Amino acid sequence: METQTLIYLFVGATFALYIGIAIWSRAGSTSEYYVASKGVHPIANGMATGADWMSAASFISMAGMIAFLGRDGSVYLMGWTGGYVLLAMCLAPYLRKFGKFTVPEFVGERYYSQTARVVAVICVIFISFTYVAGQMRGVGIVFSRYLEVDITVGVVIGMAIVFFYAVLGGMKGITYTQVAQYCVMMFAYMVPAIYISLMITGMPIPQLGFGSTVSGTDTYLLDRLNGLGAELGFDAYTDGSKATIDVFFITMALMVGTAGLPHVIVRFFTTPTVRDARKSAGYALLFIAILYTTAPALAAFAKTNLLNTIPETPYTEVPEWVTTWENAGLVAWHDKNGDGIIQMAPGSPFQGAPRFSGEQGEHGERVVTNTVTDNANEIYVDRDIIVLANPEIANLPGWVVALIAAGGLAAALSTAAGLLLVISTSVSHDLLKSNMAPNITEKQELLAARLAAAVAVVIAGLFGIYPPAFVAQVVAFAFGLAAASFFPAIVLGIFSKKMNREGAIVGMIVGLVFTFSYIVFFKFISPELDNANHWWFGISPEGIGTLGMIFNFISAVTVARFTKEPPAHIQHLIEDIRVPRGAGAAVDH
């Protein structure tokens, strides 16, 4: 069976599965729509959390970033993994014990303020839409390549699927759909990794293959990779170029930003008890670790195959995957010296992403108009395709290529659905029901949630069709914004009886405004200054969320010190949340 037929078959089968689950588990009440009636088994919730967590950024982009950046790319691996541990161990059980539907609801009740709740809603919407842009980018990439349709058409198809199971099923439908998506994406991720590990190192376990020797030689894989790069003028793969302070701040921003992501936090509200929330956190950590420990190995395998395949190859003799991804607009070649042979070297051959003229060059390549001549590099390979193209680069069977297509879509759609649900519940429950129209019935609130989800799907789709210029870094920015806004409010809300509403509100506003302004200044207003010589303390926009978090803490604590303490019942509430006896089923607030 042809590869393209297999792709249609695999993708169609998984879509049918998702829709079938959505119909079976459709929500009939606000409790089912918001938190799946708090009846999800810890193992199922662990899988759903893993799927929610492992977005397009994790599945599609992370290994690509590590492959291109080497050691510098490890900040994403360390930050996202460490962040989940922080969230699962230190925050999630306490939030679950509080027992509300949404993060803004926790903020509003803990800080006894509708203003604080509205600020939290704004933060949720801001962060979620920033994050969902990356997911729509992933949907567009997968569809444009594998289903051979225009990116716009692909995003619209993705919107329709997400709309169906997010709007119909709510949290209940999304939870069980994400269980299926976790199984699909992990199988899709691990099968190529095991195949390629066997091919390169003879070791069937990718994590062990990462530290093994190349088959038939005494050379270790990373030494081989360093040698291949050095021959082309690249720095050693195991060396890094980022300053230590920037590595620390980016890692910390990703870590604490993770702990403030509302679509992940809300997953812990869906278990029957606090003990089950802790169990599901442990299961999720296990399920997530499978991918995150495989990503560095997959990155090294992909980079090795890439450097063995592309450089010094006549364009007319390149493997089929090069021209296939070139047709998708994610690989491009410009023959700078006119010899018809692909030269790979440090630097970009184009000013930003390639812009194609629609014409063909003398060797059959697509002509790119925004070329640069200040370096010897002739080839552009989008880092987002590394995982997706890996089976083709390694010449694996067609069914593996089809499997990775289904896995990439599962990763993007699962997180997009979680984000859209958070947006819709924030609008219907925290804005409408709790502020603007408190007397609406449960049926009207459920309708409002579904309408809000529908509007959110359309806006998210526009992000995919008209992506922002900074889409490659957009996920890191979302984590920075979450770190600077939500994390301090949640931590202080749980562990400080003295933190009051004035401090929390000022802290969230200061952290969010500072971080957003810093990113906008360097990425939009003055991009020519976006380098270490002009950054504050050498901190890049990707890591500035850590400094925003510090400003949030300082502002919140300072304002709380000079304003009235929280009421006595709020202080008693905090003590009740923190006591160990809530770990069982006896206490379930």
pTM: 0.79
At residue 480, what is the residue type?
G
Q: What is the pLDDT of residue 588?
A: 45
Q: State how far the Cα of 574 lies from the Cα of 26, in Å rounded to an integer.
A: 35
Q: What is the pLDDT of residue 167?
A: 65
Q: State how far the Cα of 563 lies from the Cα of 559, in Å rounded to an integer.
A: 6
Query: Is 561 buried (19+), middle (13-18) or exposed (0-12) by CB count in 10 A?
Result: exposed
Tell me which residue of 104, 4, 29, 73 sits closest to 401, measured CA to CA. 4
Q: What is the pLDDT of residue 170?
A: 64
For the chain (length 589 residues), average pLDDT per consecutive 10?
A: 81 80 65 62 82 74 82 82 77 72 76 81 75 72 73 77 67 75 85 90 91 89 87 81 86 80 72 77 85 89 87 88 84 87 87 82 86 85 82 85 82 73 74 72 76 79 65 62 84 88 90 89 82 86 90 94 89 75 44
Q: Using alpha carbons only, what angle is made at residue 52 by residues 46 and 53, rounded to the nearest 5 degrees? A: 85
Check: CB of residue 478 under 8 Å from CB of residue 62.
no
Q: What is the pLDDT of residue 73?
A: 81
Domains and CATH numbers, the chain: 3-306+396-473 (1.10.4160), 331-381 (no CATH)
